[in-house]
A and B are shown apart, each in its own frame.
Chain A
């Protein structure tokens, strides 16, 4: 109870791509099928839940009996009978409490086990989606699939769902007892609550819309609150604090108003259930007395009805909230299911796959084309074969498709046309575990995890010893830099590696890749921020280290191209030139132009006149 409101409010923002509308029941069925642990013994749990409502319903019976057996007028009191009733009820109440305990323990344990499983499965699935899916969806949205969405479901399984069962059970039992005592009074009670039940769906619809707005505003608010944090240095250096604050304030304010709106609906429904209860009590007493005097009812029955009405008020007060919670949970479930149902576009063939031979690897792009989802072609008709042991440089203007080429080569995504082959095997047939053992890419941004240097390097080779890690620095000619770190391998690199300089970050990423020791290495501007001297030293060392391996290097510094075996030139998504540096130089074209400007700037003697 203490956490429910907080959980509800941090609910996930609705995703941009809401799954096709499936009915709530279908979602529930599918969701439960996904988590068989919940279904296990669910019948027993529900039975226990129903049993646990009995205690409360029995009390009005004993009240009635006591009153009719003498408490009512104090004349011919049968104390023994009353004590017997009380004793029996005591047993029932205690048994009921026991059933309540057993039901809850079962429910908590099973649903937690099931949901932790579901969380892990959803997490894994996100990683199985290609990077392109990951870059068009916000990280935060994906995170909420494995966090707040699952929390919503757990709220439902552990509280809301049970509450529905218990409330309905309690009202049914109460109605049955009432009907047994007096159908007329039962009718009065039902009529008093009828308007409430009828308006319930309306209330629930309003409330669900109100909470939708709350959820949306939460998402927007979190996004704008992130600006002054994530973009702190830009905000500071461009003095856009006021603008940022205005945006943040607006986001906070929208969320505030949405919450107040939802809150007022809750308050009104809650209050009206109480009014219905008052009406019912008044009606029961009035009609009860009239009927009783006419001789059809005992005094105990009339008073017992007041207690029975109490059994209606609670569920009625909670009903709108319960329905809304259920709707929220179903919506969350639907989103998680939609995620799991998104086919892993870059599928791991696993066991069924073909492994890459353990020998020097060549690669082949067979008529490859690629487009980011919803976008134009960014690579067209790429047909090229890279021989084993070749050192290939890839050059081209900004946005010409070099990074895209590298991502296809390492199967971070699959081509929309054609195929990419490594060692003669279509990448789509290679099990991931085998693929990553053979190909490693160092991406354009030197991303490091918020951990120590050691942990980051062990990312490249699990379980590497300190000695191995230190040797790796020496092998890459970085011993001096490493020696300059006061904390050595224990140096914390900061989030995304930001406690290191940009160049240092790239060096660490390079060492990490070298430790992985792949047969095929892809470097995407991996040393763009490193000074020329260190870069040359490190890449040369890497060459020696990986001699006999195949490598593809993307770089704007054409020195890389000059020393490569072969140069591929991209222009506007097409492979326009292919050959050795010398050949391409003779050919001219795009490469000639790029190279001319590179040489020009390498040889400028002094200040260039405008």
Chain B
């Protein structure tokens, strides 16, 4: 439905500003890769000069080899060998130039892309979750992929374009040297080629950019539609989805056709122009040669110049055409790179070992763009090694509370403390080692069972993994998988049942032996039986002092019953707290929530 349409409308207006910024972007890339870039430009200059030299050699050969030989009726041998060597020498040098230009030019381009991909993904890893929430997945993926590529795409034709500038200057010099009048043809045709190219690219690029962005829309629609395939099918919306996709596709088709029409006009025109130049040179050349002002070789040389220069000149057009697109893409990339508020971690480590004490002091949190806080002025104390249950109705802020503890978000006011230490002063590793969160929605990586549990930690051996799997009652089904721990789980773990996925997420937390374990409704898809066993095992660990402090979001009474204390959350505030048996008596709202099933059963 809503697709991220980063409309390239800003491309059409304020051309000069875009061009200026485009040149700034070129400068940035050149500075970043100055050495390789220099090599590629030198290669390109060599290529440009040798291209002109090629025509010059032909002219020289005409006047010094061909014509004398034909006129005298015998081969001008010395000059002939010279021209042979010149042709071959020029060709070899030009080949070297091409290798420099294309290979090293490509090197610059791919180095820039790789570099900026690394920068963008580093940002993804350091920017806070609140930033991630504000940006759709599809957009972030295309920032790191297509946008980075499009930003630097201009560097592909850039060395060639610079070489062409040199080529044109040399060509003019060569022409002046050959004949002044014929030079005038060059002075008309080259600027015309150049001008048409610029005009062409200026006209084309906003349309091409629009097509590019529509291509992004098509992809986004397809992605979302396939992602939600179960919903699409179970509600029988395939036809409507196809219509939605068709609409996006047809917009792309029309944009592509529009781009195609422009190309259809200009490509043949640009191909024809040099040929027209050649004709003009010949017509004028006839007069010049007749009047003795020019040699035939001069005419041949100038005519030949048009054939060799015509195609490369288009590189300038490509650069100017790419620039606006590069600028727009750069804006998107830059918005990631410039995003601030990266998660700052401290440098303290948490002293001691074993269970920690958790304190929330006057914590308030508001989602960005929300008009009221989801959590207000929370004060909470969870004693070392104790079990605390957080209970509250749907949307009361329980998940938000748990996300504060591992600093997925930071409170806008107040503090979260572990053993009296503000979590913001802890190093990231230490915080993650101390607190493990099992989130409400399970996320599995497209990787093996083992990697999903260990998350690459070398400290976790297979025995530990199996231990954890046993605790969460996942041992049997993992053993039954075709490759055991090495079984690949597929995207988001789709080859497992909901409960199986949840168990792996639990095992992931358990293998780390955290000092504070936070479970956000993490057992909802587990059978009550299994859940009870997991919790009692954890409880057993707690009571003999080796287990963690536990904060658990739950509705089930068995879970609640394991808790030393219950925190009852209502609309982001702690409405009441205390042992379950006290709360049931004291708070009607709590009773209605927790005892809903019993009340229902009694009412029957």
Residues of A within 8 A of B15 (CB): none
B106 proximal to A (CB < 8 A): yes
B371–A486 CB distance below 8 A: yes
Residues of B within 8 A of A128 (CB): 238
A240–B215 CB distance below 8 A: no
Min Cβ gap A70→B in Å is: 7
A236 proximal to B (CB < 8 A): yes
Residues of A within 8 A of B512 (CB): 238
A347 proximal to B (CB < 8 A): no
A459–B279 CB distance below 8 A: no
Chain B 415-444 interface mask (CB, 8 Å, partner A; 1/0): 000000000000011011101110111010
Chain B 232-246 interface mask (CB, 8 Å, partner A; 1/0): 111111111110011
- Provide the bound-state CA to CA distance between A108 and B204, in Å: 15
- Provide the bound-state CA to CA distance between A136 and B494, in Å: 7
Kindly identify which residue among A72, A79, A310, A607 contacts B562, using a CB–CB cutoff of 8 Å. Answer: A607
Which 10 pairs show the lowest CB-CB distances between chains A and B?
A278-B91, A436-B236, A108-B260, A601-B558, A398-B499, A239-B432, A100-B268, A503-B394, A104-B264, A604-B561
Which of B102, B138, B503: most chain A Cβ within 10 A?
A: B102
Binds A, one of B182-190, B357-365, B529-537: B529-537
Known contacts A5-B153, A597-B529; A451 and B2 CB within 8 A of each other:
yes
By beta carbon, the residue of chain B nearest A121 is B242
Q: Find residues 459-474 in chain A having any chain B CB closer than 8 Å to their own CB.
A: 459-460, 462
B279–A89 CB distance below 8 A: yes
Known contacts A2-B208, A143-B219, A293-B73; A608 and B536 CB within 8 A of each other:
yes
By beta carbon, the residue of chain A nearest B258 is A108
Min Cβ gap B369→A in Å is: 9
Q: Find residues 124-141 in chain B having any chain A CB closer than 8 Å to their own CB.
A: 124-126, 129, 132-133, 136-138, 140-141
B98–A271 CB distance below 8 A: yes
- Given A238-B436, A271-B102, A495-B137, 13 more A-B residue pairs with CB atoms under 8 Å apart are A10-B146, A59-B278, A77-B286, A93-B276, A112-B260, A116-B250, A232-B124, A277-B91, A279-B87, A299-B67, A436-B236, A603-B598, A604-B561
Residues of B within 8 A of A107 (CB): 260
B122 proximal to A (CB < 8 A): yes
By beta carbon, the residue of chain A nearest B90 is A278
Residues of A within 8 A of B73 (CB): 293
B213 proximal to A (CB < 8 A): no
A531–B230 CB distance below 8 A: no
Residues of A within 8 A of B495 (CB): 135-136, 372, 375
- Provide the bound-state CA to CA distance between A460 and B325, in Å: 40
Min Cβ gap A257→B in Å is: 9
Q: Find residues 462-514 in chain A having any chain B CB closer than 8 Å to their own CB.
A: 462, 481, 484, 486, 492, 494-496, 498-504, 507, 509, 512-513
Known contacts A237-B408, A436-B235; A120 and B272 CB within 8 A of each other:
no
A604–B558 CB distance below 8 A: yes
Min Cβ gap A48→B in Å is: 11
Residues of B within 8 A of A442 (CB): 234
By beta carbon, the residue of chain A nearest B555 is A532
Chain A 1-15 interface mask (CB, 8 Å, partner B; 1/0): 111011001100000
For chain B, which range describes its interface: under 10, 10 to 19, 20 to 34, or 35 or more residues? 35 or more
Number of A-B contacts (CB under 8 A): 574
Chain B 535-570 interface mask (CB, 8 Å, partner A; 1/0): 010011011000000000001111111111000000
B20 proximal to A (CB < 8 A): no
Chain A 425-457 interface mask (CB, 8 Å, partner B; 1/0): 000000011011100111111010111100100
Chain A 297-322 interface mask (CB, 8 Å, partner B; 1/0): 00100110011001000100000000
B532–A597 CB distance below 8 A: yes
B285 proximal to A (CB < 8 A): yes
Chain A 74-99 interface mask (CB, 8 Å, partner B; 1/0): 10010100110010011001101111
Binds B, one of A177-185, A328-336, A416-424, A551-559: A551-559
Which of B106, B122, B269: most chain A Cβ within 10 A?
A: B106
B253–A112 CB distance below 8 A: yes
Known contacts A131-B233, A232-B129, A533-B593; A263 and B103 CB within 8 A of each other:
yes
- Provide the bound-state CA to CA distance between A182 and B238, in Å: 66
Residues of A within 8 A of B455 (CB): 234, 238, 240, 243
A580 proximal to B (CB < 8 A): no
A403 proximal to B (CB < 8 A): yes
A285–B61 CB distance below 8 A: yes
- Provide the bound-state CA to CA distance between A156 and B600, in Å: 67
By beta carbon, the residue of chain B nearest A456 is B1
A96–B322 CB distance below 8 A: no
By beta carbon, the residue of chain A nearest B295 is A74
Residues of B within 8 A of A62 (CB): 279, 282
Residues of A within 8 A of B594 (CB): 532
A447–B282 CB distance below 8 A: no
A533–B393 CB distance below 8 A: yes
A583 proximal to B (CB < 8 A): no
Chain A 557-589 interface mask (CB, 8 Å, partner B; 1/0): 111001100000000000000000000000000
Known contacts A73-B296, A259-B110; A559 and B601 CB within 8 A of each other:
yes
Binds B, one of A199-207, A245-253, A360-368, A386-394: A245-253
Q: Find residues 368-392 in chain B having any chain A CB closer than 8 Å to their own CB.
A: 371, 392
A239–B428 CB distance below 8 A: yes
Cβ contacts A to B, 22 pairs, < 8 Å: A3-B212, A71-B289, A89-B275, A138-B446, A237-B435, A241-B126, A243-B456, A252-B121, A266-B106, A267-B102, A267-B103, A286-B83, A303-B66, A310-B307, A397-B527, A433-B239, A449-B231, A498-B133, A501-B394, A529-B524, A532-B593, A532-B596
Residues of A within 8 A of B110 (CB): 256, 259-260, 263
A196 proximal to B (CB < 8 A): no
B524–A229 CB distance below 8 A: no
Binds A, one of B26-34, B162-170, B298-306, B461-469: B298-306
Binds B, one of A17-25, A27-35, A218-226, A541-549: A218-226
Residues of A within 8 A of B98 (CB): 267, 270-271, 274
A278–B114 CB distance below 8 A: no
B1–A451 CB distance below 8 A: yes
A216 proximal to B (CB < 8 A): no
A403–B528 CB distance below 8 A: no
A556–B524 CB distance below 8 A: yes
By beta carbon, the residue of chain B nearest A78 is B286
A601–B242 CB distance below 8 A: no
A504–B67 CB distance below 8 A: no
B19 proximal to A (CB < 8 A): no
- Provide the bound-state CA to CA distance between A256 and B148, in Å: 13
B222 proximal to A (CB < 8 A): yes
Min Cβ gap B105→A in Å is: 9
A104–B218 CB distance below 8 A: no
A275–B260 CB distance below 8 A: no
Min Cβ gap A389→B in Å is: 19
A186 proximal to B (CB < 8 A): no
Q: Find residues 78-127 in chain B having any chain A CB closer than 8 Å to their own CB.
A: 80, 83-85, 87-88, 90-92, 94-96, 98-99, 102-103, 106-107, 110-111, 113-114, 117-118, 121-122, 124-126
B477–A104 CB distance below 8 A: no
B236–A399 CB distance below 8 A: no
- Provide the bound-state CA to CA distance between A225 and B592, in Å: 46
Which of B70, B406, B530: most chain A Cβ within 10 A?
A: B70
Known contacts A2-B321, A119-B218, A459-B235; A399 and B440 CB within 8 A of each other:
no
- Provide the bound-state CA to CA distance between A343 and B499, in Å: 32
Min Cβ gap A231→B in Å is: 5
Kindly identify which residue among A112, A281, A292 contacts B87, using a CB–CB cutoff of 8 Å. Answer: A281
Known contacts A303-B66, A610-B539; A260 and B318 CB within 8 A of each other:
no
B393–A534 CB distance below 8 A: yes
- Provide the bound-state CA to CA distance between A595 and B505, in Å: 26
B95–A272 CB distance below 8 A: yes
A210 proximal to B (CB < 8 A): no
Min Cβ gap A7→B in Å is: 9
